[in-house]
Amino acid sequence: LNCAGMPKAGTTFTNTVKPAPAMDSHVANGDRCGKCFKTFLPEKGADDWYEVGDAFELNALVRFQVNPRPMPYKIRLTADIDLSPICNETLGGWMPIGVDSDSPFTGTFDGQGHTISHLYFDNSARVSAFFGYVKDADIRNVKFDGVTFTSNSSSSAVCLREAQGDSHIADVEITGDITATTGNFAGIANTVKGNTILERCVNRASFTNANNTNTTFSGIASYLEESGTIRDCMYLGNATMNSTTG
């Protein structure tokens, strides 16, 4: 089947019962598939939530809606998300949600307990984190599994770069392996500031410094500033490196 679920040219049909046929993968071209031209951009529901069920929808929503038109979006996942078709060594790194401090993410992101896997970061974005900058945001109930950093950012993190204002980050979990090269890395957040509350977060991942260069790693957060609060959080993983672990 092609990526639209239709039989390819030259397909033969029989009455023999066989396993379900394999389907081609979509190829992202802007906000739609470059092969079947399906649009990936999800529509806002009647309850004002954007529901996201795969990597192509999430990528399109971030790149063509959330980042260019900042407002308090409400996003929830409806399935586990494998980001490998969107960000990898060939396609480049993940584009963070809230890519700079002048236009932070100010909405709600509810993972509903789902897992985002195969995050990949390189130097194509100024920030290496799933969320870049957030302000007065609510981020909750999401898991991350398997992360690779090839960037040399001084302030990388798996979940978010910086939380400001009255943000609330809760029930975030990281598992699998985190592989990184040169730089400073954190599990949940690089910087927690303002009146942000970060709570009930767990990092179970194993961190490896891939090329044994000067690197720092913080299991939960690197910096706590102003009136920020971190509570009921744990780092239960292992860190292998030749520099500093916090």
pLDDT in tens, 92-127: 999 999 998 999 999 999 999 999 999 998 877 778
Alpha carbon distance 61, 2 (integer Å): 24
pLDDT in tens, 47-98: 999 999 999 999 999 999 999 999 999 999 999 999 999 999 999 999 999 9
Both tokens of residue 214?
Answer: 């000067």
pTM: 0.84
pLDDT in tens, 160-185: 999 999 999 999 999 998 888 767 88
Q: Bridge-partner residues for 172, per DSSP?
A: 142
Both tokens of residue 200?
Answer: 């009930």
